[in-house]
Chain A
C-alpha cells in the first residue's frame, strides 16, 4: 500500500517535467528527424515525400541533378569538430592550474573568485562578443596598444580569422570548464597527495598517478560540457569569424533562415547530434573504466 502511494506521489512530482520535456524537447527532435528525410519545399517548409539526398549531399551520393555531392560539408564538419576539440584543450590548459590555485585560497577570496568566474553570465553573450570585436579589430584596443608599444609595425589581421573564432569560443567556454574542474580539484584528498609523496613518489609521479586520476571525472565533465555546445556554436563564428560559414552551426543556421532548405538543415543537425552522442558515450564509458567504481 505504502509503496503504491509512494509511486503515485513520485509520478505526480515527475509529471510536469516529463510533460515539458516531451512537448518542448522530444517532439521538436522528432520533427527534425522526420524533416531530414523529406524533400525541401519551394519557399521553405517541406514536401511530404521521402528524400535521402539530404544525406547524400553530405556523404557522397547524389543524383547529380537536383542535389550535388559537395565534400565541403564534411570538411566543415571536421573543422567544427577540431575547433571544438581545440577549445576543450585550451580551456582545460587555462583552467586546470587556476582550479588548484583557487582551491587553496582562503574561504573569503575563494568565494570572490567563484563569483568573478560566473560574472559573464550576468550579461548578454552578444554584447560581450561585440566587445571582443572592438578589441580585435585593426584599429582596436589590442592593435593600437601593440603599435604604441612598438611590438608590431602594422596592425595584426586578427578579426574574421579562425584564431579570433577559437579565442572567442575559449572566452565563452572558460566558466563551463572551470566549474566542474574546480569541484573535482576541491574534492581532491590532500592526504592522498601527501601519502604518495611520503611513499617516495616524486611530484611528477604523484601528479600522474594520484592527482590526475582523482580529478579525471572533473576533466571529463568539463570537456563534455565545453565540447558539445562548441561543435554547434554559430554565434561566435558569426560575430568574430565574419559569417563565412566557417562552422557547421552557421551552415545549419543558413539552411533554415536564408537558404530555406529545412530538410538539409535538419540532416546537418542530425549529424551533429550523432557525433555529439558518440563523443558523450565514449567519454562516459572511458571515465567509468578509469575511475573504477566512480
Chain B
C-alpha cells in the first residue's frame, strides 16, 4: 500500500545575511503512513519546521516533490491542501469566540450553521472544553488555548495533522498530560500526525516513528526503541537521551564476547559478532546499562543527584578518562565520594563502527 505522504528529495535554500546560501532542507526523503504518528526531531535550525511548512504549503521547495495520496501538492495553495496545522503560538483568532474559532474551517467551507454547531460541540467535547464555546481566547489558560487550537485543526477531518512544537509553551505537568492525550486522540481519530519538536522525551513518548534531523538532512528514521537502542551515529546517540560514548580498541575475543579497551585502559565487554581484534569502534552505553555491583570497573562517585525513584550518578573511573553517567536505584550505596564497581551487560552495548 502506498504511503499517505511521500516526500522525495525535498530541498529548500535560504539566503543568509552574509550573502551565502543555507540549505534548510538538503535532500529529504520521508514516507508517512495513514494513521501514523511521526515526529520530526532535531535541534533548532535542523529544517524540521521548514519541512512542516513545505507540507502545509507555506514554504515552496527548491527541488523535490511532496505527494499526498499520490497527488503532487506543489501546485496547491495552503487553503486547498487537505492538511491542517496546530501552530506553535496557537494563532487563535482573538476577535472570535472559541466556538467560532473551532468552527472556522466549516464556516469558510460553507457548512450551514446548525450542522456546524453540532460539530463544534462534538470537537470541543473531544478536547475536554465542553461549555467553553462562548468565551474569547484571551479568557482561556495556555492549556485551554492549546486544546482550542487542536479542536480547530481536527474539525474538518484532515488527512494529515501537522503540529509545530505545540506543547513547548506549557509547563511540565500539563505537557506530559497533553502528550498522552494527543496520542490517544490520534488513535481515535485515525488521522496521521506529523509532530515537530526539539524535545526528545516528547518524541519518545508519543511517536510511532521518529525522524532525527540535523542541518537539513535526515540522520535516522526509526521507532523510539530503535533510535534509543541503536542510534546510527554519535549525533543521534547524543541527541536522544543521555549517553556514555567510549572510543575503544578491540583487544581480544573470548567466546561470544569481545574485550575492548579505551585509551586510558578502561575495559568493556562487547558482543563479539563481527568484531576483529585491533579494530577501533565506539561503544555506547546508556546510564541505565550500568549497575553498581561487587565487581567491575573500579570508580569513585563524584556527584549523586537524587531524582525520586532513581539516583543519577556521575562516576569517575579509577583509570581516568571522562566521567560516566550512571542511573542507580534509590537505596544503592552510592553517596558522593563512595568507591564503587560498575558492571554492565555486554548484550546491551551498542557498537558504532569507527572510533
Interface residues in B19-60 by Cβ distance below 8 A to A read 56-58
Is residue B75 within 8 Å, beta carbon to beta carbon, of the partner chain? no
Q: Is the CB of B105 within 8 A of A200?
A: yes
Q: Is the CB of B109 within 8 A of A200?
A: yes
Q: Is the CB of A199 within 8 A of B105?
A: yes
* Contact partners of A118 in chain B: CB under 8 A: none
Is residue A291 within 8 Å, beta carbon to beta carbon, of the partner chain? yes
Q: Is the CB of A198 within 8 A of B138?
A: no
User: What 0/1 pattern do residues 69 to 113 of A give for CB contact below 8 A with B?
Assistant: 000000000000000000000000000000000000000000000
User: What 0/1 pattern do residues 155 to 183 of B give for CB contact below 8 A with A?
Assistant: 01000000000000000000000000000
Q: Is the CB of B87 within 8 A of A194?
A: yes
The answer for the CA separation of A293 and B85 in the assembled complex, in Å, is: 27
Is residue A214 within 8 Å, beta carbon to beta carbon, of the partner chain? yes
The answer for the CA separation of A11 and B282 in the assembled complex, in Å, is: 75
Q: Is the CB of B108 within 8 A of A205?
A: yes
Given contacts A198-B84, A293-B136, contact A191 B91 (CB under 8 A): yes
* Contact partners of A210 in chain B: CB under 8 A: 93
Is residue B104 within 8 Å, beta carbon to beta carbon, of the partner chain? yes
User: What 0/1 pattern do residues 188 to 215 of A give for CB contact below 8 A with B?
Assistant: 0101101111111111011001100110
Between A199, A214, A292, A294, the greatest number of chain B beta carbons within 10 A of the residue's beta carbon is seen for A199
The answer for the CA separation of A198 and B58 in the assembled complex, in Å, is: 9
* Contact partners of B104 in chain A: CB under 8 A: 196, 199, 201, 209
* Contact partners of B58 in chain A: CB under 8 A: 194, 197-198
* Contact partners of B354 in chain A: CB under 8 A: none
Is residue B184 within 8 Å, beta carbon to beta carbon, of the partner chain? no
* Contact partners of B87 in chain A: CB under 8 A: 191, 194-195
Give the A interface residue count (CB, 8 A): 24
Is residue B143 within 8 Å, beta carbon to beta carbon, of the partner chain? no
Is residue B247 within 8 Å, beta carbon to beta carbon, of the partner chain? no
Q: Is the CB of A209 within 8 A of B85?
A: no
Q: Is the CB of A195 within 8 A of B91?
A: yes
Output the least CB separation between A263 and chain B (Å): 48
Selected from A195, A199, A291, the residue in CB contact (under 8 A) with B95 is A291
Q: Is the CB of A202 within 8 A of B93?
A: no
The answer for the CA separation of A124 and B344 in the assembled complex, in Å, is: 86
Interface residues in B78-126 by Cβ distance below 8 A to A read 78-80, 83-85, 87, 89, 91-95, 104-105, 107-109
The answer for the CA separation of A63 and B108 in the assembled complex, in Å, is: 62
Q: Is the CB of B93 within 8 A of A192?
A: yes
CB nearest to B95 among chain A residues:
A213
Given contacts A194-B78, A293-B136, contact A199 B89 (CB under 8 A): no
Q: Is the CB of B79 within 8 A of A202?
A: yes
Q: Is the CB of B56 within 8 A of A198?
A: yes
Q: Is the CB of A191 within 8 A of B56?
A: no
Between A195, A206, A210, A293, the greatest number of chain B beta carbons within 10 A of the residue's beta carbon is seen for A195
The answer for the CA separation of A256 and B178 in the assembled complex, in Å, is: 72
Is residue B325 within 8 Å, beta carbon to beta carbon, of the partner chain? no
Is residue B152 within 8 Å, beta carbon to beta carbon, of the partner chain? yes
Q: Is the CB of A201 within 8 A of B79?
A: yes
* Contact partners of A191 in chain B: CB under 8 A: 87, 89, 91
* Contact partners of B84 in chain A: CB under 8 A: 198-199
* Contact partners of A213 in chain B: CB under 8 A: 95
Is residue B77 within 8 Å, beta carbon to beta carbon, of the partner chain? yes
CB nearest to B89 among chain A residues:
A191
CB nearest to A216 among chain B residues:
B95
Q: Is the CB of A198 within 8 A of B85?
A: yes
The answer for the CA separation of A210 and B105 in the assembled complex, in Å, is: 13
CB nearest to A191 among chain B residues:
B91
Q: Is the CB of A195 within 8 A of B85?
A: yes
Q: Is the CB of B78 within 8 A of A292?
A: no
The answer for the CA separation of A194 and B77 in the assembled complex, in Å, is: 11
Output the least CB separation between B131 and chain A (Å): 19
Q: Is the CB of B56 within 8 A of A195?
A: no
Q: Show the binding face of B for A, using Cβ within 8 Å.
A: 56-58, 77-80, 83-85, 87, 89, 91-95, 104-105, 107-109, 136, 138, 152-153, 156
Name 5 extra pairs, CB < 8 A, besides A194-B78, A199-B105: A198-B58, A198-B153, A199-B156, A201-B79, A214-B94
Report, nearest first, the 9 A-B pairs whose CB atoms are least far apart.
Answer: A191-B91, A195-B91, A201-B108, A199-B105, A197-B78, A213-B95, A197-B79, A198-B85, A192-B91
